[in-house]
Structure 1
Amino acid sequence: MVGMKAAMRRVDVYFLWLLVIFVGIQFGAGWYEKLAVVSLWADLPPDQVLDGMNESGMHRAGRAFWPFVSPVVAVAAVANLVFAWRSTAPNRSWWLAGAAVMCGYAAISYGYFVPQMLTFQSDGGSWSPERIDSFVTWWTRLNYGRMVIGGIGWLCLLRALSLSTAYRDPGHADSEHRHAAPLGIRDGQQT
């Protein structure tokens, strides 16, 4: 039974690693896009926004990059939420918070940002200049909040991951000493 629990904990940590890695990719790419790509089309006159978006690579990234990264984050966030909920490890609170925040991030992305952008990219050519201007203003402003949420989620997950390396299987003979004594001291002796 102890072996089974240890194996499950390893699987849990692998899923946590997966989520941390993909959130890092998503977060970094999101900031790159926000700072380097969106600025190429967001300040253009409304009648040039779609062309600017295509030239900037935003449209291409929406078809070639984000569909492969964002779903992995969403699925891994849900799996990590389940693993964290069932966990009794010391990193549980950070892990649960990070997974929940990233589930919220995915819900916001798929509930607003993705459908709005896809609608604009497919139908925006027929929109009025005022509607295009309103769309660009709201989408870009709200994206700052989404990036903050993603950053908070990633930091929580990184903290959970850092605490997971300190956690040892309770069945391991040496684990009590590792957690009972300050770092570098075991059995009353300096190590």
Structure 2
Amino acid sequence: MMNLKPSAAEILLWLFVLNLGVAFGAGLYEHRISLPRWLDVTGGHWSAEAARQDDVGLRFWGVVTTGPLTLLTLASLYFATRATGPLRSWWLAAALVVLVDRVLTFSYFIPTMIRLMQSSDTPAAVETATRWARMNHLRHALAGGAWFAALQALSWLRVTRGA
């Protein structure tokens, strides 16, 4: 009879994949839907009021990524180093890429957005917001690549379990 009870590592990998997928999709949504409300690149305007009104940092990102994804990433680093074969490689790659994303988020994206939310509509604010938006493309690439690697790890989990 097959053991259907998943290990803590398996549950963690599932949670990591799910949370990372939500974060990736939400990041794309924010970039396409919310960001244009805050930043008018063609007209050269920044709306701190619209950014404060949406307050996605506290209303969404804090609940989905700031705490949970960071903790899942650290736990994934621990469990991935104890895995073997392709499962280890894919899981570790995903966790390391997300770790880079987390470092960028805490060192650049969060502090910059906090400053932008307190700034007025000046050319300097527009330039900073435009740079923030462009840097977000890097974050999307990191999140998408990490999600792909985490999904690969999940597929190897089935192979190692013999399912």
Which category describes the TM-score, using the shorter chain as reference length?
A: 0.7 to 0.9
Normalised by the size of structure 2, how large is the TM-score? Answer: 0.88
Normalised by the size of structure 1, how large is the TM-score? Answer: 0.75
- Count of residue pairs the alignment pairs up: 159
Query: How much has 1:48 moved relative to structure 2?
Result: 5.1
Larger Rg: 1
Provide the residue aligned with 1:91 in structure 2.
87
Q: Is the 8 A contact 2:20 2:147 kept in 1?
A: yes
State which of 47, 50, 61 in structure 2 corresponds to 1:49: 47
Are 1:150 and 2:143 matched, yes or no? yes
What residue identity is the alignment partner of 2:70? A
CA-to-aligned-CA distance 1:38-84 (integer Å, 9 cap, x gap): 112211656652133345x2x2x221111111121111011101100
Q: Is the 8 A contact 1:17 1:161 kept in 2?
A: yes
Are 1:72 and 2:88 matched, yes or no? no
Query: How much has 1:160 moved relative to structure 2?
Result: 0.2
What residue identity is the alignment partner of 1:142? M
CA-to-aligned-CA distance 1:144-174 (integer Å, 9 cap, x gap): 1111011000000000001101112xxxxxx
* Structure 1 outlier segments of 4+, above 3 Å: 44-48
Unaligned runs of 5+ in 1: 1-6, 169-174, 179-191
Provide the residue aligned with 1:19 in structure 2.
16
CA-to-aligned-CA distance 1:98-148 (integer Å, 9 cap, x gap): 0111111111111100111012213x13xx712112111100111011110
Q: How many percent of aligned residue pairs carry the same amino acid?
A: 31
Structure with the bigger RCO (C-alpha within 8 Å, sep 6+) is 2
Q: Distance in 1 between matches of 2:149 and 2:84?
A: 17
Provide the residue aligned with 1:81 in structure 2.
77
Q: Is the 8 A contact 1:90 1:164 kept in 2?
A: no
What residue identity is the alignment partner of 1:53? A
Unaligned runs of 5+ in 2: none
Are 1:40 and 2:37 matched, yes or no? yes
Are 1:63 and 2:61 matched, yes or no? no
The verdict on how the C-alpha distance between 1:48 and 1:92 changes in structure 2, with shifts beyond 3 A counting, is: closer
Provide the residue aligned with 2:113 in structure 1.
117
Q: Is the 8 A contact 2:40 2:46 kept in 1?
A: no
Q: Distance in 2 between matches of 1:21 and 1:137?
A: 30
What residue identity is the alignment partner of 1:74? T
What residue identity is the alignment partner of 2:158? T
